[in-house]
């Protein structure tokens, strides 16, 4: 999946920036947890738990290490099986510490409850995994300087309310990155075919410098995910904050639409994903 730490870090920044926008003086720092968890069809649950920082904190490697919550009790249940996730290191992500399952796997139509307990605090959330929707076709269009733009096409299922999220990465890279305008709601194309010209998203939300195209000959992995409504609402509000943050004339107008209950912010989301391997040609 995507580089989750970049998203978690930006959630912290967005949360604290939003709390300060409407006051002449910075708001008093309120400790809150920042949570990002996911469960994919045919895969185990993963959860990253951190806490926020005061807005003007100087951030270095030592400070980043301290935001990681290492001793929480993280439980996921599908209504039949309940598993306490195991804290472990995983160098595919930064920070490198997360909680993961080893027995409970995601299934289409499954509902999954998350509970995080730490230092007398409890955070809870619930998500589901929708049906998969396949991409019908993937192709590239030539752009200047030997670059190629990705295009995709799929048919939305008329009988369901659907939400989608799209990612790409080069085959050699570890993490999927959301494309620009990665989130789709079938409100305006229910039951119809949708064609998208896809621009790559930046590797970091802290920079605006990126190339929206691939190089001719690149081996590209495309990930297309169905997500529940709560996942769409969170990622869409997150996307709005990223776009607004790059525009000095537009400020934050509303909080992230988190589905976390308790003293925290973030997302617990189910994904019905399909991954495609294509050559940019």
Report DSSP letters for 21-90, one per residue.
TTSSSPPPP---EEEEEEEEBTS-EEEEEEE---TTPPP-HHHHHHTB--S-EEEEE-SS-EEEPEEEE-
Q: Are residues 154 and 193 in the same domain?
A: yes
Q: What's the pTM value of the predicted model, to 2 decimals?
A: 0.85
Q: Are residues 61 and 183 in the same domain?
A: no
Domain that holds residue 199: 137-225
Q: Are residues 183 and 45 in the same domain?
A: no
Query: pLDDT tens digits, the chain, 281 residues: what are they?
Result: 545 445 554 555 444 444 444 444 555 656 789 999 999 999 999 999 998 766 555 555 566 667 899 999 999 999 999 999 999 998 888 778 999 999 999 999 999 999 999 999 999 999 999 999 999 999 999 999 999 999 999 999 999 999 999 999 999 998 899 999 999 999 999 999 999 999 998 876 655 567 899 999 999 999 999 999 999 999 999 988 877 655 544 445 457 899 999 999 999 999 999 999 999 99
- Whether residue 161 lies inside any domain: the answer is yes
- Whether residue 278 lies inside any domain: the answer is no
Domain count, the chain: 2
Q: Are residues 64 and 44 in the same domain?
A: yes
């Amino acid at each position: 999946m995507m580089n989750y730490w970049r998203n978690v870090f930006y959630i912290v920044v967005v949360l604290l920036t939003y709390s300060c926008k409407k006051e002449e003086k910075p708001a008093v720092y309120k400790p809150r947890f920042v949570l990002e968890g996911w469960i994919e069809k045919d895969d185990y649950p993963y959860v990253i738990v951190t806490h926020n920082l005061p807005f003007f904190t100087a951030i270095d490697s030592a400070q980043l290490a301290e935001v990681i919550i290492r001793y929480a009790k993280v439980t996921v249940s599908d209504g039949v099986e309940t598993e306490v996730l195991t804290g472990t290191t995983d160098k595919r992500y930064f920070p490198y510490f997360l909680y993961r399952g080893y027995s409970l796997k995601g299934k289409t139509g499954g509902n999954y409850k998350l509970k995080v307990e730490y230092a007398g605090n409890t955070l809870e959330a619930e998500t589901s995994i929708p049906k998969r929707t396949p991409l019908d076709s993937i192709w590239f269009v030539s752009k200047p300087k030997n670059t190629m733009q990705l295009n995709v096409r799929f048919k939305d299922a008329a009988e369901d309310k659907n939400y989608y999220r799209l990612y790409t990465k080069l085959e050699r890279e570890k993490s999927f990155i959301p494309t620009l305008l990665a989130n789709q709601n079938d409100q305006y194309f229910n039951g119809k075919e949708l064609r998208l010209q896809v621009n790559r998203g930046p590797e970091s939300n802290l920079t605006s410098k990126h190339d929206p195209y691939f190089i001719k000959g690149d081996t590209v992995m495309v990930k297309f995910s169905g997500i529940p409504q709560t996942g769409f609402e969170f990622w869409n509000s997150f996307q709005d904050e990223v776009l607004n943050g790059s525009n000095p004339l537009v400020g934050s107008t509303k909080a992230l639409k988190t589905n976390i209950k308790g003293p925290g912010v973030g997302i617990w989301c189910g994904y019905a994903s399909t991954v495609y391997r294509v050559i940019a040609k």
